Amino acid sequence: GEGSVLVPEEMLQLEMASELFETFAKHRGILLKWLLADKTRCSAAMEGIVRVVSLTESASGEEYAQHRVWRSIDGKHCVGRMVPCPNDRTPEEEARAEGERDSVRGREVGEIEVNVQLGTFSLSTSRLEGVDE
């Protein structure tokens, strides 16, 4: 609020958040390259993020584990916007999507997106519906 002073714990939290963001920003290109080099590794990492961020992490990590394939959203400037897909693409489908990437606009995503570009996690648990007039 107006005239409020940060206590040491709040200052430490802000400093840690800032350092974490700076570290992530510095290494995100390397992280993205590492993720995109191996679909299995990428999918496992994304599922781990979902478990931790959504607070469904069990002691073993296996209780809530889902085995989905994760990939970047199709479209220009969407590499690193990771979403789960029900089916893996064939190499031909993957090559076609990459070839069309710069001429396609990013499509609407489903319920979950991990954006490696920005370091964000989006989880939509409810849908809005239009109101009849």
One-letter amino acid for residue 14 of the chain: L
- Provide mean pLDDT across the span 83-93: 86
Tens digit of each residue's pLDDT (9 = 90 or more) over 25-43:
888 889 999 999 999 999 9
pLDDT of residue 93: 87
pLDDT of residue 14: 72
Give the Cα separation of 30 and 21 in Å (integer): 15
Residue 122 vs residue 18, higher pLDDT: 122
Report field, pTM of the whole predicted structure over 0.75: no
Answer yes or no: is pLDDT of 63 > 60.
no
